[in-house]
């Protein structure tokens, strides 16, 4: 089962991920909300839309803007709308 880990802690885990561009997109319900906080970062993908980010925080260690989500996607990316993917120190394994 795919899982996202940071600083020795599983921060998300689900057998319902969608893989796009080599990234597992996890449903929001699979995130352990206590490890996430809002980030001011955003970015734009020409075919997915505008992404917003969350910092991942475990035991005082921060992975800044390490989780991203497209709250409202363009039509071509509806399968990942509202799902979270990871980078910047968060390791995704399994699946």
Mind giving me the DSSP string for the chain?
--EEEETTEEEEE-S--EEETTEEEEEGGGB-GGGEEEEEEEEEETTTEEEEEEEEEETTEEEEEEEEE-SSB-GGGGGGTTEEEE-TT-EEE--
- pLDDT of residue 78 exceeding 90, the answer is yes
What tokens were used for 16? 């319902």
pLDDT value of residue 95: 75
Write the pLDDT tens digit of every residue in 24-60.
Answer: 999 999 999 999 999 999 999 999 999 999 999 999 9
Task: Tell me phi and psi for residue 76, to 5 degrees.
Answer: -70, -15
Q: Averaged over 67-83, what is the pLDDT?
A: 97
Q: Right CATH number for 3-93 from 3.30.565.40, 2.170.150.40, 2.30.110.10, 3.90.950.20?
A: 2.170.150.40
């Amino acid at each position: 089962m795919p899982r996202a880990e940071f600083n020795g802690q599983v921060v998300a885990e689900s057998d319902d991920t969608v893989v796009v561009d080599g990234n597992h997109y996890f449903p929001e319900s699979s995130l352990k909300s206590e490890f996430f906080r809002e980030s001011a970062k955003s970015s734009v993908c020409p075919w997915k839309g505008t992404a917003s980010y969350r910092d991942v925080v475990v035991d005082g260690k921060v992975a800044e803007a390490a989780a991203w989500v497209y709250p409202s996607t363009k039509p071509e990316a509806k399968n990942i709308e509202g799902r979270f993917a990871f980078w910047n120190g968060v390791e995704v394994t399994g699946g």
